[in-house]
């Protein structure tokens, strides 16, 4: 709808704002997706759990206020003049995702709570925005309503846990101590998100003709498809990690096989049906081409395979540094490759750079993950 009503420049501006804003959201989240559930498991009563959530919200709010203005500045600098306002709003809207209470619901094992305070607010904001944009043709309502939903939901959730949420104040010294302690995990997430969010900013930077709309549509389909990887990983993570012994290795194997199957099916659908679906959803002016969606399909497969290696094996096994190093190498190689190939081939070249970087990360993560599984098998009682 935004692509059809706002046109190619607005659609590119929205994609640019989302890509830069999601990096700010990862800075705001600062590893709570990974370490939050384990810290939740260490609590023994509701008061401690409420304290933990409010502490996380305060920390993330501070980081949000630091990271978001930088994201807006970068977005406005890269965006076309006519799309700067919508790009800035979209960057803020994407950054607010870092305030989500979803990690707490995952730690508590309450999917209904996750739906109520994360999925439904976003769905309602999108639905209301769609109706409002149809009636007014004001596309800025979409990011504006997302900002409202993504800020209101975590605050309401805090008061649901404790009516005295505003009185649970964590000393700044404690907050910054936690920031330092979580830096390794947060850095891993940040490196991974930075390169995976780079295609649109890089394409905007190197594509002098401004023909980035098709890449934005490809990237949007890729991000939508990525929710399936996240959902599968979330569904299996506790099941895989909750037991020890021979059955643990079997569950790891099942999780890996399921992610491989998802990667093959999802990557193929994205590559071959992406152009048709993009044309239907976003319009002919910004429809993706097979030369772009095919590389996004490869990236989708690589991410699907890397996810269980990282989330189920390396990070829980105390080997997060391998995930970080793999992501760092992928970023160091992938981002320059996006620029070089983008100058030569345009948007398909940028997508190729993303696919190569994801494949590099997968190949680097696999040996230590398999070694960790081998160590588990040796240490587990038979």
Q: What is the mean pLDDT of the chain?
A: 89
Could you tell me how many residues make up the chain?
A: 382
- Residue 78 tokens read as 């890269």
For the question of whether the overall pTM of this predicted structure is more than 0.75, the answer is: yes
Coil, helix or strand at residue 367: helix
- Residue 264 tokens read as 């093959």
**Residue 79, by phi and psi: left (phi above 0), alpha (psi -120 to 50) or beta?**
beta
* Digit-coded pLDDT (tens) for 169-225: 788 888 888 898 888 778 878 887 887 888 998 888 886 445 788 999 999 999 999
Distance, CA of 306 to chain centre = 14
Choose among 373, 378, 356, 361: nearest CA to 322. Answer: 361
Region 15-27 average pLDDT: 93
- Residue 265 tokens read as 């099916």
Residue 380's pLDDT is 64
**Residue 289, by phi and psi: left (phi above 0), alpha (psi -120 to 50) or beta?**
beta
Whether residue 117 is predicted with pLDDT greater than 70 in this model: the reply is yes
Region 104-109 average pLDDT: 85
* Digit-coded pLDDT (tens) for 234-275: 888 878 887 777 788 889 999 999 999 999 999 999 999 999
CA-to-CA distance for 262 and 274, rounded, in angstroms? 16
CA-to-CA distance for 374 and 257, rounded, in angstroms? 17
CA-to-CA distance for 45 and 2, rounded, in angstroms? 46
Between these two residues, 374 and 152, which has the higher pLDDT value? 152
Choose among 254, 248, 215: nearest CA to 235. Answer: 254
Whether residue 229 is predicted with pLDDT greater than 50 in this model: the reply is yes
* Digit-coded pLDDT (tens) for 315-369: 888 887 888 889 889 989 999 999 999 988 888 999 999 999 999 999 999 999 9
Q: Are 219 and 196 in contact (CB under 8 A)?
A: no
* Digit-coded pLDDT (tens) for 30-66: 988 878 887 888 888 988 898 899 999 999 999 999 9
Alpha-carbon distance values, 11 to 15, 207, 216, 298, 321 (Å):
6, 15, 8, 24, 37
Is residue 379 classed exposed, middle or buried when 0-12, 13-18 and 19+ CB atoms within 10 A define those classes? exposed
Choose among 166, 154, 163: nearest CA to 105. Answer: 154
Residue 30's pLDDT is 92
In eight-state DSSP terms, residue 310 is I
Residue 165's pLDDT is 81
pLDDT band at 127 (very low <50, low <70, confident <90, very high): very high
CA-to-CA distance for 101 and 241, rounded, in angstroms? 22
Region 147-176 average pLDDT: 89
């Amino acid at each position: 709808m935004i692509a059809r009503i706002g046109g190619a420049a607005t659609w590119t501006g929205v994609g640019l704002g989302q890509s830069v804003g999601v990096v700010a959201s990862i800075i705001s989240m600062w590893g709570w997706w990974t370490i939050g559930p384990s810290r939740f498991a260490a609590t023994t009563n509701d008061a401690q759990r409420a304290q933990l959530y409010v502490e996380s919200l305060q920390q993330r709010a501070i980081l949000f206020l630091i990271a978001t203005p930088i994201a807006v500045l970068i977005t406005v600098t890269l965006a076309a003049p006519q799309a700067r306002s919508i790009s800035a709003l979209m960057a803020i809207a994407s950054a607010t995702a870092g305030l989500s209470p979803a990690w707490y619901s995952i730690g508590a094992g309450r999917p209904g709570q996750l739906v109520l305070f994360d999925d439904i607010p976003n769905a309602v904001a999108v639905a209301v925005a769609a109706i409002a944009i149809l009636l007014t043709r004001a596309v800025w309502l979409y990011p504006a309503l997302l900002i409202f939903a993504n800020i209101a939901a975590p605050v309401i959730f805090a008061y649901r846990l404790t009516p005295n949420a505003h009185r649970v104040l964590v000393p700044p010294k404690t907050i910054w101590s936690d920031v330092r302690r979580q830096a390794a995990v947060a850095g891993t997430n940040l490196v991974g998100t930075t390169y995976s969010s780079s295609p649109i900013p890089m394409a905007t930077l190197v594509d002098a003709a401004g023909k980035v709309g098709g890449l934005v549509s490809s990237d949007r389909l890729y991000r939508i498809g990525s929710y399936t990887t996240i959902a599968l990983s979330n569904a299996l993570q506790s099941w895989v990690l909750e037991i020890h012994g021979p059955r643990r290795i079997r569950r790891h194997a099942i999780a890996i096989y399921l992610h491989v199957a998802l990667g093959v099916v999802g990557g193929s659908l994205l590559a071959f049906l992406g152009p048709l679906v993009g044309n239907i959803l976003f319009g002919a002016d910004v429809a993706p081409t097979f030369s772009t969606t095919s590389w996004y399909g490869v990236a989708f497969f690589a991410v699907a395979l890397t996810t269980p290696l990282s989330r189920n094996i390396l990070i829980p096994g105390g080997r997060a540094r391998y995930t970080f190093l793999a992501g760092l190498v992928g970023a160091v190689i992938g981002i320059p490759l996006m620029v070089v190939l983008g100058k030569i081939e345009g948007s398909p070249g940028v997508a190729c750079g993303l696919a190569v970087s994801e494949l590099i990360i997968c190949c680097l993560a696999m040996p230590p993950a398999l070694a960790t599984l081998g160590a588990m098998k040796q240490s587990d009682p038979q």
